[in-house]
Amino acid sequence: MSSSIYADLFWLPKSPENFSSLCRSVLEDDHGLGRRLQGLAKYALNGNQLGRLAKVLAKARADGMSLAPLTPFRLGVLSNSTLDFIVPALEATALRHGIALECIKADYGQVIQAALSPDSVINRAMPDAVLVAVDLRYLPLQSTLGNQEAAAAAVSGVLQHFQAIREGVRNNSGAISILQTLAPLPESLFGSFDRVLPGAPRQLIDAVNRGLAESVYGTEDVLVDVSAIAETVGLAQWHSPAQWNMAKLPFADELVPLYADYVARTIAALRGKSRRCLVLDLDNTVWGGVIGDDGLEGIKVAQGDAAGEAHLAVQRMALALRERGVVLAVSSKNNDDVARKPFREHPEMLLKEDHIAVFQANWNDKATNIKAIAEELSLGLESFVFLDDNPVERGLVREILPQVAIPELPDDPALFSRTLSAAGYFEAVTFSSEDLKRADYYQDNARRVTLQNQAGDIDAYLASLKMEITFQPFDRTGRSRIAQLINKSNQYNLTTHRYTEAEVAAAETDPRCFTLQVRLADIFGDNGMISVVICRRTDPKVWEIDTWLMSCRVLGRKVQEAVLREILKHAEGNGIEELIGIYKPTDRNQMVEGHYRSLGFEQIGSEPDGSTTWKLLVQEASVVETAMLVRSTGFETVEIGNI
């Protein structure tokens, strides 16, 4: 059961018996087609079903049908293996993650050639990323048994080869590379001594994989750890000698859906689609038993008891996720005081009340509670994962809130945390100090909402926060976080322009650009970087606001007014007379449709797709004041003042 969790994509619902007829009928109406394709991909599909869905996607594209709101992504694929089954699986699986993936294949085995040639099919396509899907059979990695120096040279040569591919892709297409670690073959040469002997195949592969991981860290390129996937399901199951010999398949065809999901979740993470909040059911999920019936002494959540240790593993996983920035919440059908009792009084509980950002224990249905949690945290439902042992509750929430990810769970609670991990909802491609604090940010935000409800008057509430806002131009220190926000922010994002870290770096020194990174602190703590702005000079006296995004955590705190005042101050100092703002609608940013109107801009244009253009005369602008200490630093002069 444990290994089949991965191979069978156990966390996904089983596909319906009429899946084929659903595929045939989905193109009958193009209204909401993107969502319906995504819905079809949310089942545990086998290779044939993924292929069928990929054909539907291809026909929709060929017919010019809209795939909105799916996020388009062009992926070049380089490989030494047969891609005929893998590419359709990638395109169909990406739908599950909200991505309309279009793959461009290089010819079989043309890896380095396609990367280095400026007019290769890959580089001409100008993809968003290139997947370097090679395995150990591609590489000149010869054993150098017992020769440490020769082993180091062999590993270095392979890493240089990968570096040449990455540089070729970057220089010729501007795309990032998605690299893969190498899955070792199950056949050993010396047995366990393979890991000890310098130059033995296993040691060489381990060294290459370490080198690949180290070379990617801190760059824009990302890694799919294929070696870890293969070892999780078992190397003997991963590698099929017969299928390699007959069809040059890099791994067993039955594992194509698993591989495709790992690649797709990585692409989704690149586009900011990873989940951010884990909502926990309590009875028989966080602990064994029903607190309302069994009482504090009767629930199972202690070492020395198999069921208790299984539920502690769930708590341990939740805590680990919180430490890396995932927000925790509770949705339970219980009386509030009863549900909180184990958190407060049970000595074996690992989770405590202060780990939970929002605690919803009542007799409402769980979908209603999850919507309330989303509102309190100012997070979209697409950010949520709901963990519940009860299949009826899972089905109900899945029906009402299809945006929420809800893993199927096995009967044995010992496998709950493993199943949650296998689903990969919280996949990451970067990690920053801001991520470490994110759970606290959202938890503090929930406390602010509580304070606001108590304060009643908005101005009194804002004054009580004692906010301090800091403005800086883009710089090297903030670059990684700026790029992360640009690629992850969806709701409060006026244009949803996506820029790589290299493009952010270019904006730092571009004399035509005025940039802002904005931080906010208050009595509850530091909110970190909460807004990013890029203005481009399109005329000697005009700035066009290319990018304006803001964290939803700080909504309703008049931050946008403070940001506009800062833009106006610098615009005036640079001889700018007009600001031009553009709103480009997506399925996620309707909340900012009236952003420029609320700030006093005049609408001067509109497009059939709903885009609008706005103008503000700098000398005539009037922005409301708010109680906020302002620090403006890193520009030509450092200023501190109040607005």
Instruction: Note whether residue 428 is domain-resident.
Output: no
Q: What is the mean pLDDT of residues 125-129?
A: 95
| Confidence band for 639, pLDDT divided at 50, 70 and 90 | very low
pLDDT score at 587 = 78
Q: What is the mean pLDDT of residues 333-342?
A: 92
b/e 457-484 (16+ beta carbons within 10 angstroms → b) = eeeebbebbebebbbbbbeeebbbbbbb
The answer to whether residues 251 and 283 belong to one domain is no
Instruction: Work out the percent of the chain whose per-residue pLDDT is above 90.
Output: 72
* CATH number of the domain bearing residue 343: 3.40.50.1000
Instruction: Note whether residue 455 is domain-resident.
Output: no
Instruction: Note whether residue 643 is domain-resident.
Output: no
Please name which of 167, 58, 174, 178 lies closest in space to residue 127, comparing C-alpha atoms: 174
Instruction: Note whether residue 435 is domain-resident.
Output: no
Tokens of 422: 């296998």
Which tens digits make up the pLDDT trace of 245-263?
A: 999 999 999 999 999 999 9
Query: What is the three-class DSSP state of 335?
Result: coil
| Confidence band for 642, pLDDT divided at 50, 70 and 90 | very low
* Residue 305 amino acid letter: D
Final residue in a domain of this structure, among 423, 453, 486: 423
Whether pLDDT at 640 is above 70: no
| Confidence band for 441, pLDDT divided at 50, 70 and 90 | confident
Q: Which has more confidence, 379 or 616?
A: 616
Final residue in a domain of this structure, among 220, 246, 271: 271
In contact, 258 and 229? CB cutoff 8 Å? yes
Spacing of C-alpha 344 from chain mean position: 33
Please name which of 185, 176, 171 lies closest in space to residue 132, comparing C-alpha atoms: 176
Instruction: Note whether residue 639 is domain-resident.
Output: no
pLDDT score at 2 = 59
pLDDT score at 635 = 84
The answer to whether residues 264 and 281 belong to one domain is no
* CATH number of the domain bearing residue 9: 3.40.50.1110
pLDDT score at 451 = 64
Instruction: Note whether residue 437 is domain-resident.
Output: no
Instruction: Note whether residue 613 is domain-resident.
Output: yes
The answer to whether residues 351 and 257 belong to one domain is no
Relative to beta strand 358-362, strand 384-387 is unpaired
Can you say whether the dihedral through the CA atoms of 417, 420, 422, 428 is positive or negative? Answer: negative
Q: What is the mean pLDDT of residues 97-118?
A: 94
Which tens digits make up the pLDDT trace of 11-27?
A: 999 999 999 999 999 99
Spacing of C-alpha 389 from chain mean position: 25
Cis? peptide before 257, omega within 30° of 0 = no
Residues 6+ positions from 320 with CB-CB distance below 8 Å? none
Which tens digits make up the pLDDT trace of 208-238?
A: 999 999 999 989 999 999 999 999 999 999 9
The answer to whether residues 495 and 606 belong to one domain is yes
The answer to whether residues 475 and 614 belong to one domain is yes
Q: Which has more confidence, 636 or 115?
A: 115
Final residue in a domain of this structure, among 371, 394, 423: 423
pLDDT score at 450 = 67
Mean pLDDT of the residues in the chain: 91
In contact, 57 and 96? CB cutoff 8 Å? no
CA dist., res. 598 & res. 594, Å (int): 6
In contact, 178 and 132? CB cutoff 8 Å? yes
The answer to whether residues 262 and 294 belong to one domain is no
Whether pLDDT at 638 is above 60: no
Instruction: Note whether residue 454 is domain-resident.
Output: no
Classify residue 21 as exposed, middle or buried by CB count within 10 Å of its CB (0-12, 13-18, 19+).
exposed
Q: What is the mean pLDDT of residues 311-318?
A: 96
pLDDT score at 358 = 94
The answer to whether residues 265 and 301 belong to one domain is no
The answer to whether residues 182 and 44 belong to one domain is yes
CA dist., res. 112 & res. 120, Å (int): 11
Which tens digits make up the pLDDT trace of 46-63?
A: 999 999 999 999 999 999
CA angle 261, 263, 267 (to 5 degrees): 110
The answer to whether residues 79 and 18 belong to one domain is yes
Whether pLDDT at 637 is above 60: no
Q: Residue 567's domain spans which residues? A: 464-632
| Confidence band for 643, pLDDT divided at 50, 70 and 90 | very low
Tokens of 437: 């604090």
The answer to whether residues 552 and 568 belong to one domain is yes
Q: Give the range with max mean pLDDT: 3-7, 128-132, 522-526.
A: 128-132
Which tens digits make up the pLDDT trace of 445-460?
A: 776 666 666 655 667 7
The answer to whether residues 189 and 296 belong to one domain is no
Instruction: Work out the percent of the chain whose per-residue pLDDT is above 70.
Output: 96
Indicate the number of domains in the chain: 3
pLDDT score at 442 = 75
In contact, 211 and 154? CB cutoff 8 Å? no
The answer to whether residues 266 and 198 belong to one domain is yes
Which tens digits make up the pLDDT trace of 139-190?
A: 888 889 999 999 999 999 999 999 999 999 999 999 999 999 999 999 999 9
Containing H/E element for 131?
Answer: strand 129-133
